[in-house]
Structure 1
Amino acid sequence: MNWRMAKLFNQTKMQSIKFIFIPFLIFTLAGCSLIPVEEDDLAPPLIEPKKEEVRLLTVEKGSIVKNLNLQGNFRSSISESLYFKQHGGRIVSIDVKLGDTVSKGDVIAQLENEELTKRVQQQKLALERAKIELQRAQQEIELNLPDTQIDLDLKSLEASIEDAKTNLERTTRLYEEGAVSLQDLEVAQQQVEQLELSYEKLLISTEGSKAYPVDEQYIRLLEINVETAQIEYNYLQAQLSNTKLVANIDGVVTYINTLKRGEEVIAYDPIVDISNSENLFILATLDNAEEILEAKDAEINQPVEVTYDGKTYIGTVVQTPETAPESADREVTELNKTSIFVKPNEELPDGVDIGDRVDVKITLVEKEDTIVIPSASLHSYLARNFVKVLDGESRVEVDVEIGIETKTEVEIISGLEEGQQLILN
């Protein structure tokens, strides 16, 4: 019974599979008929390559000029830099502005000098008193009044000693405050010592040990007083003069220090520069190593073209880096290394000012009747220089020897001949 049931089950299963598979097969075959047939790829059209255009230049002789074109400005050949010689003074005023015209003797700048001015006035009075005492003594000697001479001597010296001590006390106080120098203090001390020594000698002379008559000694002592007072007065006057900067030439102010009122000055630090605008030259600047190298071909007394305000003038080279004199000033040395100095040969137009810009053209070398080609057509590889020429339908590399070179042209000494076709591209 069981085997019959199994057989019946298998038959039923096979019929079900057939029923499902046959429709699926029909659907698949029908779908394949809907796929389009692929077409064969077409070959790309053949394009004939474009023939390269060759740019040619017929080799011929001509002239070549190598110029050194520089920019510069007008400078003064007569100028001065004004500065204070002592350190520590405080600036009161700078009495000029940049571009001002000044005359010789004009006061340019000043330091504080109130205390020093007072000392000069006091010393002037001391000098005047010493001269009066000397004059009075000389008159008394002429009147033969020997009895009063010693007393006058002693009284005069005592008064001078008191004045000198007072001055020493004041100078000591000012020195401690930093208002005067050690040299000022030493001068005041020496004045006291000299007067005291003279007083002692005069006392000794009254006891009969004098080498000269009393009248002669007395006059000499008073003369010493006058000389000492004069020396001190001259010294203080010089100190007072050093608090002012005065122009020594006529000219134009071309530099001013930025010091403000009350700031301390540094000794020998320039405060103002003055340049005379009647004696101008041109400082042409070499801006790079190539120009410095080319400047070696410039010669002294060589004529140059100077262009200012659209007009051309003739000038002369007066100094090059190769001919510049040695200088202990480092700034001057550096300036000389990178500059060419040119003197205008023609009268310049009115209105030329110090600092105005100018163009300078120096012809370094020129040559005629020589083969010249564009610089762009010259090729270099390592130590080899060559050009490309057209020989029939072929391009040929030709080694050449070059001569003068400019930024746009180059001279060919050998390797090329007139009439050859030089390839430019």
Structure 2
Amino acid sequence: MKKRKKLVIIIAVILVLAALLIARSFLSPKNAVKTVDTADAVKTDLIQSISVTGNIKAGESEEIMLPSTQKVTRVLVQEGQEVKKGQLLVKLDTYELETQLKKSRISLDMAKRDLEKLNSEDNTTRKSLENAVTQAEISLKSAASKYEDARIKHEHNTKLYEAGFLSKVEYDNSLSTLNDLQNNLLLAEITLDNAKNSLADFDEKIYQQEKQIEMSNTDLSSLERKISDSNIKANINGKIVKLDAKENQYPAAGSSIIIHDQSKYILELRVSQYDAVNLEMGQKANIRINGLDKVYEGHITKISEAATVEMVNTSKETNVLVEITLDSVDEQIKAGYEADAEIVLIEKENSIAVSFEAVQTDEQGNKYLFVVEDNIAKKRNVETGLETDFEIEIVSGLKEGEKYIISPPAELMDGETVITTGGM
């Protein structure tokens, strides 16, 4: 009897242990039903793009520097006004220039008469030769004084330019003035030397007089050009965005008139080398100007032939200058505005795409995802294509309307039962 009771107890213990093992097996995570998020495969338009920030500039612009040595007599336009190419904008005082022009014309006439006298054998005297030497010495002294003043001033302007306090245009004007005065000095030295030679050899006087006439003609041309330039005109069609001229006042140093052709605007960008290698002329771009709730369309119209290396903080960046022309403009756009451009590199229509997390890669390098059929997860090898910032194209292995797992659990196996959420 005791043996039988003992046997029953042993059998009961064995059954309990077996039940525990079976329960543990069913409750194991390996056999637990997993809940997964799914979505239906649909066709969409894919765009691969890059985003770059730059500044707007006018398609064409002109800056006219105003001379600080001439007073403004009339201002015929105002800031914000539309002007046409060739339209008169500002008139400068030409009294001194016209006075110099009259004197130069008189001097030229006298030089021509002197030449006529020299060509007449009865009207040649040594006195006229001595007077010519005296006049040449005075001219040389004056030219030397003007050149020395200009040289000192240009050295000062050079320091200002190198320090960033003087514009390139003003620096070039200073250098041009110095060169002109240096040429005048050299011409004065030549004139004096020739006049002295004339005293020793009067036959050279005719040659010198001819050169004097040539120089006078040059001075006349220069004065006439300066007088003509005193009527400041627009060289392009556009709107005046800066006007420093004020009537009966001398312009301050650096004063100018700026005209922008607002019929066309360009977004100027500096694109990193890594992105620039993918750019091509004509590629489309969507442009968002900061502060404006509007998207402008444009296309690449310029890619610089050479890259530039720039220091950014403590590192070097290699960038390429790129210009995007806006296809249409409006009055809200202004030169200098900051804008973001989304440049379309590749665009595909009606492509099946999934999230990046849906695509997995096995040890052999094969790409796959999981589709769900009747609550069963099925592993499906796929071929991928275009990648955007958020999606990846499925070229083959997934059909439109099939349900796929958005982000499959790492332990998910082919053929497992799943509970799905999401999808359509």
TM-score by length of 1: 0.54
Q: 1:125 maps to which residue?
A: 103
Which of 209, 215, 240 does residue 228 from structure 1 map onto? 215
Runs (5+) with no aligned partner, structure 1: 1-47, 111-116, 206-216
Post-superposition CA distance 1:297-324 (Å, at most 9, x none): x563x66666786566765x35364xx5
Q: Aligned residue pairs: how many?
A: 329
Q: 2:356 maps to which residue?
A: 375
Q: Please state whether the residue corresponding to 1:53 is helix, strand or coil.
A: strand
Asked whether the equivalents of residues 296 and 326 of structure 2 are also in contact (C-alpha less than 8 Å), the reply is: no
Q: 1:165 maps to which residue?
A: 137
- Greater shift, 69-78 or 184-193, is seen at 69-78
Runs (5+) with no aligned partner, structure 2: 1-26, 152-177, 244-250, 311-316, 408-424
Distance 1:235 1:407, change over 3 A: same
Q: 1:150 maps to which residue?
A: 124
Letter in 2 for 1:283: L
Distance 1:175 1:281, change over 3 A: closer
Q: 1:185 maps to which residue?
A: 185
Letter in 1 for 2:389: K
TM-score by length of 2: 0.54
Give the alignment of 1:275-294 within 5 angstroms.
275-278=260-263, 280-283=264-267, 285=269, 292=276
Deviation for aligned residue 1:80? 4.4
Asked whether the equivalents of residues 61 and 418 of structure 1 are also in contact (C-alpha less than 8 Å), the reply is: yes
Asked whether the equivalents of residues 92 and 262 of structure 1 are also in contact (C-alpha less than 8 Å), the reply is: no
Identify, as 1 or 2, the structure richer in strand: 2
Asked whether the equivalents of residues 284 and 360 of structure 1 are also in contact (C-alpha less than 8 Å), the reply is: no
Q: 2:417 maps to which residue?
A: none
Letter in 1 for 2:61: S
Q: In the alignment, is residue 405 of structure 1 matched against residue 390 of structure 2? A: no
Give the alignment of 1:20-419 within 5 angstroms.
53-58=35-40, 60-66=41-47, 68=49, 74-80=56-62, 125=103, 128-132=106-110, 134-135=112-113, 138=116, 147=122, 149-151=123-125, 154-179=126-151, 181-202=181-202, 222-232=209-219, 234=221, 248-251=235-238, 274-278=259-263, 280-283=264-267, 285=269, 292=276, 295-296=278-279, 300=282, 317=299, 319=301, 321=303, 326=305, 337-342=320-325, 344=327, 348-350=329-331, 352-355=333-336, 357=339, 362=344, 364-368=346-350, 370-379=351-360, 385-390=367-372, 398-417=380-399
Asked whether the equivalents of residues 73 and 355 of structure 1 are also in contact (C-alpha less than 8 Å), the reply is: yes
Distance 1:221 1:350, change over 3 A: same
Give the Cα–Cα distance (whole angstroms) in 2 for the partners of residues 248 and 372 of structure 1.
Answer: 54
Deviation for aligned residue 1:57? 2.6
Deviation for aligned residue 1:401? 1.9
Distance 1:160 1:139, change over 3 A: closer
Letter in 2 for 1:413: V
Asked whether the equivalents of residues 99 and 253 of structure 1 are also in contact (C-alpha less than 8 Å), the reply is: yes
Distance 1:340 1:421, change over 3 A: same
Post-superposition CA distance 1:163-195 (Å, at most 9, x none): 110121233344445545543322111011122
Identity %: 19
Distance 1:405 1:252, change over 3 A: same
Asked whether the equivalents of residues 83 and 245 of structure 1 are also in contact (C-alpha less than 8 Å), the reply is: no
Give the Cα–Cα distance (whole angstroms) in 1 for the partners of residues 346 and 191 of structure 2.
Answer: 70
Q: CA RMSD in A?
A: 5.7
Give the Cα–Cα distance (whole angstroms) in 2 for the partners of residues 193 and 413 of structure 1.
Answer: 89
